[in-house]
Amino acid sequence: MTLSKEELERYSRQLLIPGLGQEGQEKIKAAKVAVVGAGGLGSLVSAYLAGAGVGELGIFDFGPVELSNLHRQLIYRTGDIGTAKTELARKFLLELNPGVKINIREGLLTAANAAEALAGYDFIADCTDNFTARAAVNQACFDLKKTYAHGAVYQLEGQLTVFSPHDGPCLGCLSPAALRPQGDSCVKHGVLGPAAGAVASMQALEVLKLILGMETLKGRFAMLDFRLSSFVVAELKKRADCPVCGSGRAGN
């Protein structure tokens, strides 16, 4: 996969980075990434990945842009209220980088459809805000032997890691208390825009590092407290009786 003159110019600032170069850019161009969720995290993750030149992006979401989204979901505009996020995201991303292929899928990812939806992608970014989709992504990645970047944000706090559920700890290995409140957490608890932006930027970085074969947060869990400016990274361990990847799984 060679790069055109226009691509060499477009990506010239990142091509200069040691360990990236033309070979790394070709890997980014060949990569297919699913971004599950086009809200506070996913809208910005997909923008960074399209900007960086990821060859094919899948955007998964459901529902329209609302006025209360706009303080953090910066790819949408006030005039977009009421229009489906997936359609708007595709338009934004293609205007940002016409060289990227964008697939959109409207609807909630569930245990019944996640594996089929994600099978065609190399890596996944879990940018969802509901436990049904999070659990579905984790289970599908276990079944498909895929690696994904998990991000979550809550008020002025964020969390971030990389899971390879078939080869290391997974979402189900975390203690339930370590998970953020589920459901529409932004609706119930609030979120500050730049906190979502910080986690989204880091999540996009983890995806790009996965593509490039660089060291990631796999096996470690980053807890970001922006109120205290405290950033802690803890070791993650596989739980023997995990209901997804361990002895607790169905049929085991």
Residue ranges that bind Zn ion, judged by CB under 5 A: 170, 172-173, 242, 244-245
In terms of DSSP bridges, do strands 123-126 and 32-36 run parallel, antiparallel, or are they unpaired?
parallel
Complex with Zn ion: residue 164 or 216, whichever CB lies closer: 164
For residues 160 and 204, which CB has a smaller minimum distance to Zn ion in the complex?
Answer: 160
Phi, psi of 68 (to 5 degrees): -75, -5
Pair of tokens at residue 109:
């990812």
Instruction: Compare residues 193 and 243 and give the one whose CB is closer to Zn ion.
Output: 243
In angstroms, what is the minimal distance from the CB of 242 to Zn ion? 3
How far apart are CB 248 and Zn ion at their closest, in Å? 9
Q: Can you tell me the distance from the alpha carbon of 169 to that of 240, in angstroms, rounded to the nearest whole number?
A: 10
Place of tokens 């910005």: 44
Instruction: Give min distance, CB of 170 to Zn ion, in A.
Output: 3
Rounded least distance, CB 224 to Zn ion, Å: 22
Task: Tell me how far, at minimum, the Cβ of 160 lies from Zn ion, in Å.
Answer: 17
Report the alpha-carbon distance of residue 48 to residue 211 in Å, rounded. Answer: 14
Name the residue among 60, 52, 16 with its Cα closest to residue 31: 52
Q: Which is nearer to Zn ion, 104 or 244 (CB)?
A: 244
Closer CB to Zn ion, residue 92 or residue 148?
Answer: 148
The answer to whether residues 199 and 178 touch, using CB atoms and an 8 Å cutoff, is: no
Give CA–CA dist 159/176, Å, rounded.
Answer: 14
By beta-carbon distance, which residue lies closest to Zn ion?
242
DSSP 166: G
Distance CA 193, CA 238 (A): 32
Cβ atoms < 10 Å from Cβ of 8: 13
Q: How far is the CB of 245 from Zn ion (least distance, A)?
A: 3
Q: Which is nearer to Zn ion, 26 or 143 (CB)?
A: 143
